[in-house]
Amino acid sequence: MDSATAEWTESQDAAGRPPRPGRVFAAWVAGLLFAGVSVIIGFRVADSDGMTPVTQLLAFLPWLLAPAGVGLALALLARWRVGMVWGVVALGAVAWFIEPYGKVGDPAGKSVAELRVLTSNVQFGRGTDSLVAAVRRERPDIVFVEECEYGCSGTLKDAFGGSRGAYPYRESVEGAGSDGSVIMSRFPLRGADGVRGTMGMPGAVADVDGHPVRLQLAHPMPPLPGQLGVWRRELGRLRDYAAGSNGSTILAGDFNASQDHAAFRHILDTGLHDSARLAGNPRTPSWPARTAPALGSQIDHVLVSPDFSAKKASFLDISGTDHRALLVALTLYQGE
């Protein structure tokens, strides 16, 4: 910034005019904007989630286009050549990282089953009634519900459970507040060890038209200031689960992480695919519901093993919760 000011002062003194304070101010503001964007992008380049507030801001990486664009406009106004180059580089870096992460391919073999999967965080059970209406309307085959406390669990059991209910099979971790979680299924389930976490993350194996499919609900701790270690550790356990999965797998829920977080990308590095990306919705925000889809981040995911394809992904408004539900239509393939 001092060199930029010297540039203007020298050129303006030669013309016999004092430097314009407005241009100097514009350059300083542009420099501050570029510095903030560059710090966040730097951690993204380094494949690191950094520390607070970088970890939290990484969830909104695509929206860095706004401060980078404003900074470039101010650099142009200030006629700050270094700033112009800095702004172009910053915009290019953000645009590069907006692209969906990882490679995906088409499953081999033939289609053997079709199923629809829904995941919804009902925020301490407040969105339960709205979720019940959505499930009755959409009729998914498997439902993952996070933050389903005792009242939510009982409501879902009354609405859908029992041998004659729409979802006679379920696995759950019962708990208060955000600790409870439920998996409901039209397909027969057998229990399986869930991933250990602060909040409940049940697991199961579904018999999908004669084909075993491993199910795991994801709900690690959010990346709160002072608790980033817990967040990383629990996402690491989900990664270990994904890495150890053999055969067809669905890992779904509120991951409290987007594809711009290294801890989430490491889960994708095990070979799982994000079904929203497969269906053409890699950046549709799911949280916070109050500002989505205009502003937000996709932290609710349905990850699937490579033997699945996804034809459609829909984000549903669920009243009473700060998350949108995600509904995906999946096709399971088996080798011939």
Secondary structure of 203-218 as H, E, C letters? EEEEEECCEEEEEEEE
Cα distance between residue 38 and residue 101, in whole Å: 20
Looking at residue 164, its pLDDT comes to 85
Mean local confidence (pLDDT), 265-281: 97
Mean local confidence (pLDDT), 235-243: 98
Cα distance between residue 155 and residue 133, in whole Å: 12
Looking at residue 7, its pLDDT comes to 47
Residue 327: beta bridge partners? 118, 314
Cα distance between residue 190 and residue 243, in whole Å: 21
Cα distance between residue 324 and residue 51, in whole Å: 27
Structure tokens at 283: 């950046």
Confidence band for 102, pLDDT divided at 50, 70 and 90:
confident
Looking at residue 19, its pLDDT comes to 52
Report whether pLDDT(178) > 50: yes
Please enumerate in sequence order all residues whose Cβ is within 8 A of that of 79, keeping only pairs 6 or more positions apart, or say none: 8, 23
Query: 303 with 276: CB under 8 angstroms?
Result: no
Query: pLDDT per residue over 293-328, tens digit each?
Result: 889 999 999 999 999 999 999 999 999 999 999 999
Structure tokens at 196: 């250990």
Average confidence score pLDDT of the chain: 93
Cα distance between residue 167 and residue 186, in whole Å: 5
Looking at residue 93, its pLDDT comes to 97
Report whether pLDDT(53) > 70: yes
Report whether pLDDT(2) > 90: no
Confidence band for 4, pLDDT divided at 50, 70 and 90:
very low
Predicted structure pTM score: 0.92
Confidence band for 13, pLDDT divided at 50, 70 and 90:
very low
Report whether pLDDT(336) > 80: no
% of the chain exceeding 70 in pLDDT: 94
156 SS3 class: helix
Looking at residue 21, its pLDDT comes to 82
Cα distance between residue 6 and residue 11, in whole Å: 9
The domains of the chain, with CATH numbers, are 2-98 (no CATH), 110-334 (3.60.10.10)
Report whether pLDDT(168) > 80: yes
Q: Residue 312 — φ and ψ, nearest 5°?
A: -155, 140
Number of other CB atoms surrounding residue 28 within 10 Å: 17
| 288 prior amide bond cis, ω within 30 | yes
Please enumerate in sequence order all residues whose Cβ is within 8 A of that of 48, keeping only pairs 6 or more positions apart, or say none: 262
Cα distance between residue 139 and residue 39, in whole Å: 45
Nearest one of 43, 49, 53, 86 to 67, comparing CA atoms:
86
Mean local confidence (pLDDT), 275-285: 96
CA 318 to chain centre: 17
Which of 6-20, 30-44, 162-176, 181-195 comes out lowest in average pLDDT? 6-20
Amino acid at 51: M
% of the chain exceeding 90 in pLDDT: 89
Mean local confidence (pLDDT), 16-33: 84
Mean local confidence (pLDDT), 66-80: 96
Nearest one of 291, 277, 229, 253 to 60, comparing CA atoms:
291
